[in-house]
Amino acid sequence: MAQPLIRVPPTKNVLLRLKKQAQFLEEGHALLERKRELLTRLVYERLGEYRHLREEAERALQVAYRSLGITHLRLGSRGIHQVALGAEPALAVGILPRRSLGVEYPSVTAERRPLKPVGLLGTDASFDDTRERLAEAAVLLARLGEVEIALHRLLEEQRKAQKRVNALKYNVIPRYHRTIHFIQSSLEEEERNTLFQVKRLRERAG
C-alpha cells in the first residue's frame, strides 16, 4: 500500500522547497548507505578476529585449568589459597575509550608482569607454572573482551543504520517524490486551464 502524500498546498514555492528537501534526504541516504557499508566491513573484520581470539583463549584456558588441577592435587585448596595471598598481580590492565564511525567501545590493554617464583614457600613448581598459564589466558581474555564488546556495539549501530537506510529508501524519499509529482501535475493542469481560458477570452474578444 502506497504511503499517503505529504499534506502541503500545491504551489510553486512548496514545490521548490520539497525538491530541496528531497535532494537533502537523498544526500543523507547516500551518506548513511556509505556508513552502513563501512560498519558492515568493520563487523566482518571484528568477527574474524573474535573467532580467532576465542579459539586461542579456549585453548589457553584448557591448558591453565589442567595445570591448576595438578596444583590442586599437590597443594589442596587451602594450600593454594594461602600461597595466593602473597602473590603479586600477574597483569597490568588499562582501559581507555575508543571510537570507530561514531561507535564508542573500551580499548583494553593487558600486559604481563614478571612473576616472582613462590616455589620456596612450601610449594612446588606446579604453582608457578599454573600462574604462568593463567596469566597467559587472562591476557587473551582481556583482548577477547574488547573485541566482543566492540563487535556487539558495531552490530547494533549497523542494524540502526540499515533501518534508517531502508526507511529513507522505501518510505520517506518515495513519499517526497510522489508529492512532488502530484504538485507538478497539479500546476501543469492549472497552467493548461489558464491557457485555455485565455484562449477562449481572446476568441470572444476577436
Does residue 3 form part of some domain?
A: no
> In whole angstroms, what is the distance from residue 9 CA to residue 48 CA?
54
DSSP state of 120: T
Does residue 139 form part of some domain?
A: yes
pLDDT in tens, the chain (206 residues): 567 888 999 899 999 999 999 999 999 999 999 999 999 999 999 999 999 999 999 999 999 999 999 988 888 888 888 777 777 788 888 999 988 888 999 998 888 888 776 654 555 778 888 888 999 999 999 999 999 999 999 999 999 999 999 999 999 999 999 999 999 999 988 888 888 788 777 777 76
Does residue 185 form part of some domain?
A: yes
Does residue 79 form part of some domain?
A: yes
pTM equals 0.77
Q: Report whether 144 contacts 179 (CB < 8 A).
A: no
> In whole angstroms, what is the distance from residue 119 CA to residue 114 CA?
15
Please tell me the predicted confidence (pLDDT) of residue 1: 55
Please tell me the predicted confidence (pLDDT) of residue 118: 62
Task: List b or e across 75-91, with b for residues whose CB sees 16 or more CB atoms inside 10 angstroms.
Answer: beeeebeebeeeeeebe
Please tell me the predicted confidence (pLDDT) of residue 172: 95
Does residue 206 form part of some domain?
A: no
Domain count of the fold of the chain: 1
Does residue 115 form part of some domain?
A: yes
Please tell me the predicted confidence (pLDDT) of residue 197: 81
Does residue 5 form part of some domain?
A: no
CATH code at position 87: 1.10.287.3240
| Structural domain boundaries enclosing 125 | 12-201
Please tell me the predicted confidence (pLDDT) of residue 77: 86
Does residue 4 form part of some domain?
A: no
